[in-house]
């Protein structure tokens, strides 16, 4: 039966702009980039040390409700764990990333910061207060 | 930075939960609602920490491809040790494998795969990589 997840999609309007954002700004590594004749360009990126890859698919994504970049995602976001949200916030800000709020938020469940990619896809960075329950891949 | 949660937009969270747990065999991980906030409902595979957030909404994706196309790359990929067998099992549970011109597992250079949809049209590819696929994946990970 189904074992594990290897790829998840993110719809982007411009693959070159997206790969620049995900590698240079977020620090992901590019994993695959090729195009078979008559097929869409297969472009994937992933956080260092993680198996799951993002497929940067060229297209148009609409969702209702779709909050703007400076609003709550309403739960429609990807979550990244981090072991130091404030340090990541500073490093990513220095690379030009604009976060929703001027500083990380102290929430009951951890320290968190929200941002969007150039296409308005929402992300949350979370330094969880709960320990990584002994399962691998929980934090970097 | 490691990915821990991935959203899947669904029109009806209860219907989606039934599909992902009863049909696909995911386990429910979190299900609660804070006052004034959307219901936070997540599922995951037993063997992995990654969770999918079943978000209530109505999403549309336009890849500019024809009706004959498969997922066009807009899919969540999952691995399996036996694609044909999973296809038969999931088909008896009512999973929709009609995506573009595709209806059943196909053999490719890198393995066997089949595409299916959840009740909201979100697409999945179930992949059984062969030795070529496994080597290709390993090499792409080493090549930094």
Q: Can you tell me the ipTM of this complex?
A: 0.91
C-beta neighbour count of A41 within 10 angstroms: 15
- Residue A75: per-residue pLDDT: 86
Q: Where are the domains of chain B?
A: 5-56, 76-142
User: Is A85 inside any structural domain?
Assistant: yes
By Cβ distance, the residue of A3, A11, A74 closest to B80 is: A3
State the alpha helices, DSSP H only, in B3-143: 13-18, 83-92, 131-142
Any domain includes A27: yes
The pLDDT assigned to B144 comes to 54
Interface check B64 vs A, CB under 8 A: yes
Q: Which residue has the higher pLDDT, B110 or B84?
A: B84
Expressed as residue numbers, the domain containing A43 is 7-58
d(CA B138, CA B59): 33
Same domain, A42 and A85: no
> Has residue A137 been placed in a domain?
no
Residue A20 is assigned to a structural domain of this protein: yes
Question: Which CATH number does the domain housing residue A13 bear?
Answer: 3.10.180.10
Average pLDDT over residues B79-104: 95
Q: Is residue A136 part of a domain?
A: no
**Mean pLDDT throughout B36-59?**
93
Residue from A77, A70, A56 nearest A12 by CA: A56
What pLDDT score was predicted for residue A65?
Answer: 73
| Reported CATH class of domain B76-142 | alpha beta
Query: Mean of the per-residue pLDDT values for chain B?
Result: 93
Which residues in chain B have their CB less than 8 angstroms from residue A67's CB? none
pLDDT < 50 stretches in chain A: 132-140
Q: Count of domains in chain A?
A: 2
Query: What share of chain B has pLDDT > 70, as a percent?
Result: 99
Q: Do domains B5-56 and B76-142 have the same CATH topology?
A: yes
B8: closest CA of chain A, how far (Å): 8
Q: Is the pTM of this model over 0.80?
A: yes
Of the candidates B80, B74, B109, the residue with the CA atom closest to the CA atom of residue A54: B74
The residue ranges of DSSP E strands in chain B, in sequence order, are: 2-10, 27-32, 40-44, 51-56, 58-62, 76-79, 106-108, 111-117, 123-129
Q: Between residues 1 and 40 of chain B, which touch chain A (CB distance below 8 Å)? A: 1-7, 9, 24-25, 37-38, 40
Residues with Cβ within 8 Å of B104's Cβ and at least 6 positions away in sequence, in order, are B87, B97, B114
Q: Who's near A101: CB < 8 A, 6+ residues apart?
A: A113, A114
Q: Taking residues B23-29, what's their average pLDDT?
A: 95
According to CATH, what is the number of the domain B5-56? 3.10.180.10
Count interface pairs A-B at CB distance under 8 A: 159
């Amino acid at each position: 039966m189904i074992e594990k997840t290897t790829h998840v999609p993110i719809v982007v309007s411009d693959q070159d702009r997206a790969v620049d954002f995900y590698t240079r700004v977020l620090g992901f590594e590019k994993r695959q980039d090729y195009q078979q004749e008559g097929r869409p360009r297969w472009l994937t990126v992933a956080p260092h040390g993680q198996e799951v890859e993002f497929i940067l698919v060229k297209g148009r994504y609409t969702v209702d409700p779709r909050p703007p970049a400076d609003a709550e995602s309403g739960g429609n976001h990807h979550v990244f764990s981090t072991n130091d949200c404030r340090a990541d916030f500073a490093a990513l800000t220095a690379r030009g990333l604009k976060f929703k709020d001027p500083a990380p938020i102290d929430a009951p469940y951890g320290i968190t910061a929200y941002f969007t990619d150039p296409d308005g896809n929402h992300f949350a960075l979370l330094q969880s207060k709960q320990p990584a329950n002994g399962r691998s891949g929980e934090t970097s | 930075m490691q990915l821990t949660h991935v959203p899947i937009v669904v029109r009806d969270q209860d219907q989606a939960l039934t599909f992902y747990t009863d049909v696909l065999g995911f386990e429910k991980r979190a299900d609660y609602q804070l006052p004034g906030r959307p219901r936070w409902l997540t599922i995951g595979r037993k063997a992995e920490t990654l969770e999918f957030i079943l978000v209530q909404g109505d999403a549309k994706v336009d890849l500019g491809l024809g009706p004959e196309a498969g997922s066009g790359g807009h899919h969540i990929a999952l691995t399996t040790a036996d694609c044909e067998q999973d296809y038969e099992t999931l088909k008896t549970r009512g999973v929709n494998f009609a995506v573009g011109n595709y209806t059943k597992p196909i053999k490719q250079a890198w393995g066997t795969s089949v595409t299916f949809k959840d009740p909201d049209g979100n697409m999945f590819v179930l992949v059984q990589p062969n030795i070529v696929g496994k080597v290709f994946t390993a090499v792409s990970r080493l090549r930094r």
